[in-house]
Amino acid sequence: SQTIHQWPATLVQPVGSPLSLECTVEGTSNPNLYWYRQAAGRGLQLLFYSVGIGQISSEVPQNLSASRPQDRQFILSSKKLLLSDSGFYLCAWSGSWGGYEQYFGPGTRLTVT
Amino acid sequence: AQSVAQPEDQVNVAEGNPLTVKCTYSVSGNPYLFWYVQYPNRGLQFLLKYITGDNLVKGSYGFEAEFNKSQTSFHLKKPSALVSDSALYFCAVETGSTLGRLYFGRGTQLTVWP
């Protein structure tokens, strides 16, 4: 069966520090991968998605970037964190698109102080 | 532009009563519709989806949803609510022009009291 991992689970970082969040998927190959941010426990905002190694699409211009160095690894990064980057970050994968459900990881709670 | 509306921020029902969580959508083209549930500080869990065919879709934990094309709605229902159903519920849509990108509603907090 497929599983998705995210780490760390929680993170407290000062403003201006770098960020690296990691997501890995097991039990499938060539998944579509997604990064979402959820603010204030409500709506999800799609940040990045990837259909293959090195292929990243950005939905919203911002202080963040994403990379996919391996087929089942997706990394969210920032060079300098802002207070507004605080939130709950969720990684997801799907087998394809056109009606395929996405499966979400457990999330990372980021607090920028 | 694609959008999803969940008109109720909060739904409260008594255990054993039927529940409905509402969702309407606005898309160009045919929609693929999804419901997800989120428990506190957890990721989202897939409940059910509508792709094509029968308008009544059955999913996990006894939930079902009815696709209504004329009313552009996809309401989530359960005949008998459980306290353990209390959680945050999200409706989402994907279309042929947004393949792979899900657009989520703001979520509805469901509370089932004993």
A109/B104 Cβ within 8 A: no
CB of A94 closer than 8 Å to CB of A28: no
| SS3 call for A83 | helix
The torsion angles phi and psi of B96, rounded to 5 degrees, stand at -60, -25
CA B29 → CA B54, B66, B74, distances in Å?
A: 18, 18, 16
Total number of domains in chain B = 1
Nearest to A91 by CA among A43, A50, A60, A39: A50
| All structural domains of chain A with their residue ranges | 3-112
Superfamily of domain covering A3-112 = Immunoglobulins (2.60.40.10)
Name the residue range of residue B103's domain.
3-113
Most A CBs within 10 Å, among B94, B95, B103, B108, to test the A interface: B94
What one-character DSSP code corresponds to residue A7?
Answer: E
**What's the rounded Cα separation, in Å, for the pair B57 and B64?**
5
CB-CB neighbors (< 8 A) of A32 in chain B = 100
Q: Model confidence over B51-91: pLDDT tens digits?
A: 988 999 999 999 999 999 999 999 999 999 999 999 999 99
Please, what are the averages of pLDDT over each run of 10 residues along chain A (113 residues)? 93 97 95 91 86 89 90 96 94 88 94 96
CATH of the domain at B51: 2.60.40.10
How far apart, in whole angstroms, are the C-alpha atoms of residue A85 and residue A62?
9
Place of tokens 């997800």: B36
pLDDT of residue A98: 79
* Cβ separation B44–A104 shorter than 8 A: yes
B-chain residues near A44 (CB < 8 A): 44, 90, 104
Q: What is the mean pLDDT of residues B38-50?
A: 92
Instruction: State both tokens at B81.
Output: 């609510």
pLDDT-derived band at B28, boundaries 50, 70, 90:
confident
How far apart CA B111 and CA B105 sit, in angstroms, is 18
Beta-strand runs (E) in B6-107:
10-14, 19-21, 24-26, 31-38, 44-50, 56-58, 64-68, 73-78, 87-95, 103-104
Interface of A with B (CB under 8 A): 32, 34, 41-44, 46, 49, 51, 59, 88, 90, 92, 94, 97-99, 101-107, 109
